[in-house]
Chain A
């Protein structure tokens, strides 16, 4: 019983962490049809913002607040300088953002060196769950992810901004003909997606090794969860992450992490084969 509970907690933790990364990715992809290969590097910048703030004597919490703001600003600049010029050229968006990801990664190496940094956990306490200690910081990560999900859904389904953004996703030309400033929406959405990546990086920094390669580890499951869940609906990455994260944790626990990888990729292939528009495409028709 306890073991099952801890396993569920571990799975939820991984699922929510993937969602944190995948959310920004799916917003940018859904609204602008841009596959942002630099998303992992925006995640990286979020983590390094924390490293930088701590180096300057600030607290972890200050870094956590500044990371989404700083990375959101980077997103704004990147959209204006690079991404804006390759809309409507789907393949070029992949190349351009891939180039960008290399540039950001190298800039980080130049500024901070190739070695890894550690960010110590700001909440060191453990909470006893069924007699087993569980790090309280992991529960904090889950709370942040749930908050991000709630805020994002509120933003997209309850506000005028969200209505306009969904209108642009559904029919960009018609939305523009109704007076919706598509340029401003593109800018705001890209910055929001980037800020989410930055926040994710800052939140995950204390439980990871902060190095220039750290973005990749989460980018792959995030992309997979979008493919499995479907990119046409905001619920897509939620379902996808649940499927990917749940399978991964379960298989890793039953067998080994290597087997888990095989199981996850096999499942992804099967799901994509059966539901080409993803699980959300099947259930929500969007």
Chain B
């Protein structure tokens, strides 16, 4: 469903991704692990069209998306939950969710009740300003906002960052259920190994802007040495 080959991308004066290859199969949850500064977020931003791709290919459902604008990529069915959540703090919870819909064909005005199903706390707070929510609630809002547009592929960047551990597990459980129910494909960037192992079937380790190794999550559970090699500082 998503196939990245020889991807090179970065910011002015510094290339962060150096020929990265990655395959994500339809309906799976893949995780991307690695130390800080290895290019995980840059990959997410390149997939979304926010970073200019200088070489390589990104093929999503048979279509080369490298060089397309972010809104075109979103319309093809890729949704993005960025690091730091980037919710619209001055807007209400409901307006945030509506913003996840306005770019869709048809541009539905009303948020379907199903959008709140996995995140009941958002339904309670729908009229509240998003900036007043707790970190965990904001994260749930960012995920719900991405899902309300019914994407095929969800890009999740560090969903556990700055959130209490109990909420992290709860979010992981919701995500697992949603992915299973909707057949959603997920690419997850995450430092929290517990969350990764509970969600992902497949893990890629990124080092210096390329994928250095791939392992099934089952393998990692039994072998702490692999995790140590790619994640320990």
Measuring CB to CB, which residues of chain A are less than 8 angstroms from any residue of chain B?
A: 160, 163-164, 166-167, 170-171, 173-183, 285-286
Chain A, residue nearest B76 (CB): A179
Give the interface centre of B74, B89, B149 by most chain A CB atoms within 10 Å.
B74
Known: A166-B91, A171-B88. A178 touches B50 (CB 8 A): no
Chain A, residue nearest B107 (CB): A160
Q: Which residue of the partner chain, among A163, A181, A285, A286, contacts B99 with CB atoms under 8 Å? A: A163
Q: Which residue of the partner chain, among B48, B75, B90, B102, contacts A160 with CB atoms under 8 Å? A: B102
Known: A173-B50, A183-B69. A178 touches B103 (CB 8 A): yes
For residue A166, give the distance in angstroms from its CB to the closest CB of chain B.
Answer: 7
Does B102 contact A164, Cβ atoms closer than 8 Å? yes
- In the bound assembly, the distance between CA atoms of A107 and B103 in angstroms comes to 39
B229 at the A/B interface (Cβ < 8 Å)?
no
Chain B, residue nearest A284 (CB): B90
Does B90 contact A177, Cβ atoms closer than 8 Å? no
For residue A134, give the distance in angstroms from its CB to the closest CB of chain B.
Answer: 41
Q: Which residue of the partner chain, among A163, A177, A183, A285, contacts B74 with CB atoms under 8 Å? A: A177
Q: Which residue of the partner chain, among A164, A176, A286, contacts B90 with CB atoms under 8 Å? A: A286
For residue A226, give the distance in angstroms from its CB to the closest CB of chain B.
Answer: 19
The interface residues of chain A lying within 8 Å CB-to-CB of B57 are none
The interface residues of chain B lying within 8 Å CB-to-CB of A176 are 49-50, 69-71, 74
The interface residues of chain A lying within 8 Å CB-to-CB of B82 are 174, 177
The interface residues of chain B lying within 8 Å CB-to-CB of A285 are 90
Q: Which residue of the partner chain, among B88, B100, B102, B104, contacts A170 with CB atoms under 8 Å? A: B88
Known: A179-B149, A181-B71. A174 touches B103 (CB 8 A): no
B223 at the A/B interface (Cβ < 8 Å)?
no
The interface residues of chain A lying within 8 Å CB-to-CB of B74 are 176-179
Does A179 contact B50, Cβ atoms closer than 8 Å? no
| B side interface size, CB within 8 A | 28
For residue B166, give the distance in angstroms from its CB to the closest CB of chain A.
Answer: 27
Interface of A is mostly: helix
Q: Which residues 41-85 in B have Cβ within 8 Å of A in the complex?
A: 48-50, 69-71, 74-75, 79-80, 82
Give the interface centre of B80, B89, B90, B100 by most chain A CB atoms within 10 Å.
B90
Known: A163-B95, A183-B69. A177 touches B102 (CB 8 A): no
- In the bound assembly, the distance between CA atoms of A179 and B109 in angstroms comes to 15
Does A182 contact B71, Cβ atoms closer than 8 Å? yes
B86 at the A/B interface (Cβ < 8 Å)?
yes
- In the bound assembly, the distance between CA atoms of A170 and B48 in angstroms comes to 19
- In the bound assembly, the distance between CA atoms of A218 and B149 in angstroms comes to 44
Does B91 contact A177, Cβ atoms closer than 8 Å? no
- In the bound assembly, the distance between CA atoms of A265 and B102 in angstroms comes to 42
- In the bound assembly, the distance between CA atoms of A164 and B88 in angstroms comes to 11
Q: List 14 A-B contacts (CB under 8 A).
A: A160-B109, A167-B99, A170-B91, A175-B99, A176-B74, A177-B50, A177-B70, A177-B80, A178-B74, A178-B99, A178-B149, A179-B71, A179-B149, A180-B102
Chain A, residue nearest B80 (CB): A177
Chain A, residue nearest B95 (CB): A163
- In the bound assembly, the distance between CA atoms of A102 and B103 in angstroms comes to 38
Give the interface centre of A160, A176, A182 by most chain B CB atoms within 10 Å.
A176
Does A163 contact B70, Cβ atoms closer than 8 Å? no
The interface residues of chain A lying within 8 Å CB-to-CB of B152 are none
Residue-wise, chain B 104-125 has the 8 Å CB interface mask toward A (1 for contact) of 1001010000000000000000
Does B90 contact A179, Cβ atoms closer than 8 Å? no
- In the bound assembly, the distance between CA atoms of A166 and B96 in angstroms comes to 11
- In the bound assembly, the distance between CA atoms of A160 and B103 in angstroms comes to 10
Q: Which residues 9-42 in B have Cβ within 8 Å of A in the complex?
A: none
The interface residues of chain B lying within 8 Å CB-to-CB of A179 are 71, 74-75, 102-104, 149
Does A174 contact B86, Cβ atoms closer than 8 Å? yes
- In the bound assembly, the distance between CA atoms of A27 and B199 in angstroms comes to 44
